[in-house]
Homo-oligomer: A and B are copies of this chain.
């Protein structure tokens, strides 16, 4: 009946359950980022390699899962801001914060406004906001961030760059062969935007310039007869 051993450690069963829980949260992030607002529980469970039944054993409802995810992502925001403040260089701290957050911000947009916010979440959010404000204030004070860019400007820029239509579409089409190039392209665009935030001149862009295939190949409809269907925009 008891599921603890004598010294109180978890049983193997409970260890698997915990792994499943982490897999579910990671899958929820990934599926939310690609499928957007209509991410389905079935897709999340499948992505996690877990049955739907197991998902509903841990979370009473889809909403509860997303609430938990929100809580965790807020922790990530806070950690990123603290890491940024720990960097001795104000600009490196800010740009590192921006790039880090962009990497995981995509998950939250679709669920904004669909969840009741618990007091704990509101508190975490407030602390994260204070931390990022400190990062930005420090950059302003050091004169490395353009003076006319506000905290909200930076936060909205992060949100704008967090969701990449390019990467999402490629993921939806299963074009894993292009995902590396798409990631590189997104990194370059982020660097361009960050340079726009700088008070002074730009460093060179990272990586190689992206090839045109990111544009052309996305338009091919899977069951098409035409082997070459180049089209942009």
Contacts and interface: CB of A to CB of B under 8 A. Distances in A.
Given A125-B231, A231-B121, A189 B157 contact: yes
Copies in the complex: 2
Contacts of A10: none
Say what secondary structure dominates the interface of chain A. Answer: helix
Interface string A158-182: 0111111110010011000000000
A230 interface: yes
A226 B118 CA distance: 11
Interface stretch (A45-53, A85-93, A105-113, A136-144): A105-113
A215 B112 CA distance: 10
A82 to B, nearest CB: 15
A129 interface: yes
Contact of A202 (B38, B105, B196, B224): B196
Nearest to A162: B165
A224 B108 CA distance: 19
Contact of A122 (B166, B201, B230): B230
Contacts of A103: none
B169 A109 contact: yes
Contacts of A114: 221
Nearest to A232: B129
A194 B196 CA distance: 7
Interface in A213-233: 214-215, 218-222, 224, 226, 229-233
A165 to B, nearest CB: 5
A118 to B, nearest CB: 10
Nearest to A205: B148
Residue picked from A108, A125, A191, A218, most chain B C-beta under 10 Å: A125
Interface string A182-224: 0001101101111111001110110001111011001111101
7 contacts: A112-B219, A113-B172, A113-B219, A117-B226, A128-B232, A150-B210, A152-B214
Given A150-B210, A152-B214, 17 more contacts: A73-B233, A74-B233, A112-B169, A113-B173, A113-B220, A115-B219, A117-B231, A122-B229, A122-B231, A146-B202, A148-B205, A152-B211, A155-B233, A156-B214, A156-B215, A157-B189, A200-B201
